[in-house]
Amino acid sequence: MSETGAAAAADAARPSPQDSLDELERNKAVLRRLYELFNTNSLDGLDDLAGPDLAAMLRGAIPRARQAFPDAPWVVHDLIAERDTVVMLWSRTGTHGGSYQGVEATGRPIVQKGARVFRLEDGKAVETAAYGNDLEVMRQIGAMPSPSATRA
């Protein structure tokens, strides 16, 4: 094959810019649907959105999070996608109504904010890493002193 033919074949195999944009939007849509499941307290359809390992982890983590803060839905503020990665910025506002990190329900209000990074393969989330303000939540429920209290 000539150099020109090889270059043409490589260009044909490369996704078009529109195909790439469509994939990014599909990846973001997967995560929107995933968090809709979390907010309805149902994990039906989870296997359509997450790979087996991540789905198994979420089947344990989401019910615990919902039990700890039953009136605190996740609000998705932004989704940023690049290649196979999507970053989600989220928050939750609600009441500490169940055990959280070993602290029984206090009835105190909480505001939790965070970011979660997902990697997707074949239209499913397969890996995730969370970044949040769990220490601040522990302060809000009275399990830890506020920074100002520790300086006094």
Q: What is the pLDDT of residues 25-48, one digit of tens each?
A: 999 999 999 999 999 888 999 999
What phi, psi does 138 have (nearest 5°)?
-60, -35
Rounded distance between C-alpha atoms, residue 130 and residue 140, angstroms: 20
Domains, the chain, in order of start with CATH, read: 3-151 (3.10.450.50)
Question: Model confidence over 73-127: pLDDT tens digits?
Answer: 999 999 999 999 999 999 999 999 999 999 999 999 999 999 999 999 999 999 9
